[in-house]
Structure 1
């Protein structure tokens, strides 16, 4: 019997156009009413994850949010931070210098906004997609002296693939990179991933990891699927994630993947 369901947001709960399919919303509401612990898990900032969670369920403290690719775990209603692992100021400075040298669009995160040294159209598009405020700063590291949960580089897939090994070669063990989308390279602390966050939360709640289910679509979901008792990929998932998953659903995010999951594994 499974007691906890951890769901990625983009292209898993939400359709590619950002809409919430009725079948996904209704399935999550029904599971919550039956006592299943719902965890909304994403690379997004906490404030953005919380907004999506509010679209699905009335917020309660038996619902949880994994944000920043696992760098933070919070209670959905109270916002209490249960776990957090930040990038250091040194890590931020290394990535910032690399981004400046190579004319890359780099973002950091405050509590309710995201921050960049570049006023680029991609920042404006990201603000619209996540409903977050954007703040332009002269120096990212100086604006985040206490560190931050993650950094994000937005560019074309071929550009990010070209820069990825070079940037990682400069990491000094202070950060790692993961692709949440082909156009998003996310930079986090080496100890951070969604799988670590899921294990932490299951342990805190006293739920054996074997009694958890995780579902996602992209490379940054792989550790979460591997950690869970049952790891599931939606039909529209990246091929590398499908190879990691225990099960690949027949339905995609936009055709009601979460509804299929609920019917097959929680009935």
Structure 2
């Protein structure tokens, strides 16, 4: 844990879904006020999410985020003006392995993110309405993912069968080791991104960009893709509803997202005593 007296936190990187956002994807007034207070205290604040960059715009505006943000689990870092700071695409060989495995399971909806779009072959899948509500835009229906293989940002296996995704994660890990990151961003989503597309790399890159030493960084999240930033942050904070495996990798635990856990963490662990 960062020693507040010797290493005060100067940069907080926050996950979005299940962390910053309520279950209906909205921001509470307490959270907005806490982020505002954080920024007024001179602490940088940014977002790291499995979402595409274009699905972060509403939250960026509401929170007044004025530094680069990390989409696709850190695969794409975007400047405030919308220009790309860093982009990591999934290797073609890894993408082919992933698509073949996911497509073999009828209970899995296969989504590909490329060229700024959300691509799928079946728009009638039961998970589509939920994702569309969360992203704020509709998918693009394609006959094949083949034309996009050389520029894929993320592949997602979406399924209401959470146990199946756990099994697919374990099965896929050795097949793409050294080529891709595999993590469950939420129980119903299994994400596959490039090796450097992880929140730990994102935190380190953003901290260097902002001139903040790593011991003065903090990270907060709830999902399986968040420990990557926990491991490199000066202070790591797990949400109250996170799985125990995630909590064990954090320095401290705050309230759940329905209990304004992010606001609580900002108030208790970062702003207290300033």
Work out whether the TM-score is over 0.5. yes
Unaligned runs of 5+ in 1: none
Distance (Å, rounded) in 1 between the aligned partners of 2:53 and 2:262: 22
1:255 alignment partner in structure 2: 259
Distance (Å, rounded) in 2 between the aligned partners of 1:177 and 1:202: 24
**Which of 63, 66, 69 is residue 70 of structure 2 equivalent to?**
66
**Which of 32, 40, 53 is residue 46 of structure 1 equivalent to?**
53
Q: Deviations over 1:24-69 (max 9, x none)?
A: 1110012112221111111111111232222222x53xx2211101
Contact kept, 8 Å, 1:21 with 1:255, in 2: the verdict is no
Contact kept, 8 Å, 1:215 with 1:234, in 2: the verdict is yes
Distance (Å, rounded) in 2 between the aligned partners of 1:45 and 1:181: 15
2:5 alignment partner in structure 1: none
**What SS is found at the alignment partner of 1:133?**
coil
Deviation for aligned residue 1:170:
3.4
For 1:112-151, list aligned pairs within 5 A. 112-119=116-123, 120-142=125-147, 144-151=148-155
**Which of 95, 99, 110 is residue 96 of structure 1 equivalent to?**
99
Deviation for aligned residue 1:18:
1.8
Deviation for aligned residue 1:124:
3.0
Alignment partner of 1:36 is 2:36: no
Distance (Å, rounded) in 2 between the aligned partners of 1:163 and 1:99: 8
- Root-mean-square deviation over aligned CA pairs: 1.7
TM-score when normalising by structure 2: 0.89
Contact kept, 8 Å, 1:219 with 1:241, in 2: the verdict is yes
Contact kept, 8 Å, 1:50 with 1:65, in 2: the verdict is no
Q: Deviations over 1:230-254 (max 9, x none)?
A: 00112222211111111112x2222
Distance (Å, rounded) in 2 between the aligned partners of 1:128 and 1:259: 24
**What SS is found at the alignment partner of 1:244?**
coil
**Bigger shift: residues 226-235 or 82-91:** 82-91
1:80 alignment partner in structure 2: 83
Structure 1 segments (4+ residues) deviating >4 Å: none
Alignment partner of 1:186 is 2:202: no
Contact kept, 8 Å, 1:94 with 1:170, in 2: the verdict is yes
Deviation for aligned residue 1:111:
4.0
1:24 alignment partner in structure 2: 31
Contact kept, 8 Å, 1:89 with 1:141, in 2: the verdict is no
Contact kept, 8 Å, 1:92 with 1:141, in 2: the verdict is no
